[in-house]
Amino acid sequence: MAPNVVLTAAHCADGSAASYAVVTQTELQNIGVSAVITAPAYDASADYVNDAALLVLTSPTLSPSIPLATVEPASGASAIYGWGNTSTAGGAGLASTTGSMQVLSDATAAAYWGTWWAPSDMAAVDPNGIVALGPGDSGGPLVVGGVEVGINDRCGSGTAPSIFTRVDQLNGWIQTEIAANTPKPSVSAVHIEHDVKTHKVVKKHHKRHRHAKSGRVGGEA
């Protein structure tokens, strides 16, 4: 993503920007949100099609950004992250937790979910039925090979696959919004930097010229 933009699920961001804050676990930042931008064609009434939103932050986060998928991921190993319940008995996690899942083919997932399946969806599951997403995990990333490929949309349980919104289909919209909402350097800042560099060049040139006039050439004493 970007230092000042966070990707989440649209159904997690249906309030005003002032009602949200972004907390980073490692850097211990608590950052306000200046704008919420919902994905085009997001439809909560149609099983959360295109369930994605961007949170524009009031100041940049120190957390490292993660690359976003540009193509549909193949079936295979993936990692999930979330702050949700850590057991079926409830109890929200006090820190971000992670687990492993297998990305399913579209055909397998569509056969399971039936009419709840949409082209903007992808699915993953733990074949052993141990790792699952739960309340509080929505909006978290599904990661394959260090790249975010999905946004947690609907939770599964046991061997029932969880559904994610595909990132590759929204990548163009995401990049456009990042560019539109990333602060540009001010003209005065650019001029100051240029002047400083020019001053250094002039200063070095001045020293070299004075050194040559002193007659100290070729290591002579």
Q: Mind listing the pLDDT tens digit for each residue in 90-108?
A: 555 555 677 888 899 989 8
Asked whether residue 84 is domain-assigned, the answer is yes
Tell me the C-alpha distance between 18 and 65, whole Å. Answer: 23
Asked whether residue 99 is domain-assigned, the answer is yes
Q: Which CATH number characterizes residue 154's domain?
A: 2.40.10.10
Single-letter code of the amino acid located at 17: A
Q: Mind listing the pLDDT tens digit for each residue in 180-216?
A: 998 776 555 444 444 444 444 334 444 444 444 433 3
Asked whether residue 214 is domain-assigned, the answer is no
Confidence bin at 24 (pLDDT 50/70/90): confident
Query: How many degrees, rounded to 5, is the angle at CA 104 between CA 102 and CA 110?
Result: 145
Residue 128 CA to chain centroid, in angstroms? 28
The answer to whether 142 and 149 have CB atoms below 8 angstroms apart is yes
Average pLDDT, rounded, for the chain? 77
Give the three-class secondary structure for 142.
strand
Q: Which two tokens stand for residue 12?
A: 């997690």
What is the pTM (predicted TM-score) of this model? 0.74
Q: What percent of the chain has pLDDT over 70?
A: 71
Tell how strand 97-103 and strand 76-82 pair up: antiparallel
What is the model's pLDDT at position 91?
56
Tell me the C-alpha distance between 57 and 55, whole Å. Answer: 6
pLDDT at 51 over 90: yes
What is the model's pLDDT at position 186?
57
pLDDT at 218 over 50: no
Q: Mind listing the pLDDT tens digit for each residue in 131-157?
A: 666 667 788 899 999 999 999 887 766
Asked whether residue 105 is domain-assigned, the answer is yes
Asked whether residue 115 is domain-assigned, the answer is yes
Q: Which domain holds residue 131?
A: 5-181
Is the CA virtual torsion 113, 115, 116, 120 positive or negative?
positive
Number of domains in the chain: 1
Which residues contact residue 24 at a Cβ distance below 8 angstroms, ignoring those fewer than 6 apart? 31, 61, 62, 63
Asked whether residue 217 is domain-assigned, the answer is no
Asked whether residue 205 is domain-assigned, the answer is no
Asked whether residue 145 is domain-assigned, the answer is yes
pLDDT at 85 over 70: no
